[in-house]
Amino acid sequence: MRTAAIVGGGIGGLATAAALVRRGWDVRVYEQSPEFGEVGAGISLWSNALSALDSLGVGDQVRAAGGHPGKGGFRDRAGRWLVRGTGSDDEVVMLHRADLLAILRAAVPAECLVPGTRIDDPRVEDGRPVVDSTPVDLLVGADGIRSRVRAVFWPDAPAPRPAGYTAWRMVVPHAGIPAFDGSETWGDGLVFGVFPMGEDTVYCYASSAQTAPVDDELALLRRRFAGWPDPIPAVLAAADPGAVLRHDLYYQPDLPSFARGPVALVGDAAHAMTPNLGQGACQALEDAVTLAAHAHEPDGLARYDAVRRPRAQGIVKRSRQVGAMVHRRRGQALRNLVVRATPPIVMRRQLQSVAGWTAPGQSPA
């Protein structure tokens, strides 16, 4: 039986473990936190991610646990629609990151999970990775944007770079907020997204040019987004200060490879990206099922790299370009005019190039 060690028990690590276990591997997932879980807010899973989750046998569970954003789309500062979505429930599911982690964790046998274990010195001896004093056939770095596995095996890799933006995320009770379709609103170098996440909660996020932390981040958001179109004021009024998560955003410059010898990277360790296309977790899920599909082959990791790296790095670039577009402070009227005038079929093709991916072995939709 082939053996694998996965460093990192987040979305990419647990999905990789689940995919390998389904293919007969003996897997250990090492997570430095005392428990497998995640502090976070909402997450959007597009059809490409749902395809990956279907291949893991958990797609229907995820759909049942999440909500759908309605027809949705993008709006200008006055609340006028620039682009409307299709309203298809098959297109995107919104759910809490913790719920996704729980579903993925349940797809991995309990004996495969090793919490409370920090891996600082992974190495290769006699052609095999050694993790926690145990030789294995495959080592997977799923340990995030500050990956220790990447630092050890890719010592020449460029460090993550600041994107120049700060993001805030929160989950808010739906009570008292009028019904609405999910939307992302652009204006004045600021962005605010708000999406229903099931019957009881709303997921929202905001972003702006990078700012220093303040004692009361929610008060800052209420000032910055005062007078913005509904339901933004109602959402911020209903928010709890303790629910606000603040992060400066970073991205990973291109690596020359996602695999070296018997070591592979997945998720943010390989291609951390800005959230502007909603593809961070989606791409980690693509990585997981693709790696598992090829890892048993003689040149499987080279194949994984050839399949995944061009696509993931292209999406990193596109996400940064979208971020620069939506946060621009000058030329907003022209930007909005161009976006509003773009034919729906062109928008659909652009979306399809990102979200139209299907997992290995599945037929395209």
pLDDT digits (tens, 9 = 90+) for 140-157: 999 999 999 999 999 999
Q: Nearest to residue 5, comparing CAs of 132, 146, 154, 152?
A: 132
Burial class (CB in 10 A: 0-12, 13-18, 19+), 32: middle
The rounded percent of the chain whose pLDDT value lies above 90 is 78
The answer on pLDDT for 39 being more than 80 is: no
pTM of the model: 0.95
For 334-361, b/e burial (b = at least 16 CB within 10 A) is: ebbeebeeeeeeebeeebeebbebbbee
Please name the amino acid found at residue 185.
T
The per-residue pLDDT for 344 is 80
> Residue range 18-47: average pLDDT?
91
CB 291 within 8 A of CB 264: yes
Residue 198 above 80 pLDDT? no
Domains and CATH numbers, the chain: 3-69+98-159+252-326 (3.50.50.60)
Residue 165 backbone phi and psi in degrees, to 5: -125, 155
Predicted pLDDT of residue 69 = 77
| Listed range (30-44, 97-111, 198-212, 234-248) with the worst mean pLDDT | 30-44
Beta bridge partners of 264: 140, 259
User: Is residue 88 scored above 70 in pLDDT?
Assistant: no
Q: Is the pLDDT of residue 216 over 60?
A: yes
pLDDT tens digits for 9-32?
999 999 999 999 999 999 999 999
Under DSSP, is residue 206 helix (H, G, I), strand (E, B) or coil? Answer: strand
Q: Quote the percentage of the chain above a pLDDT of 70.
A: 97
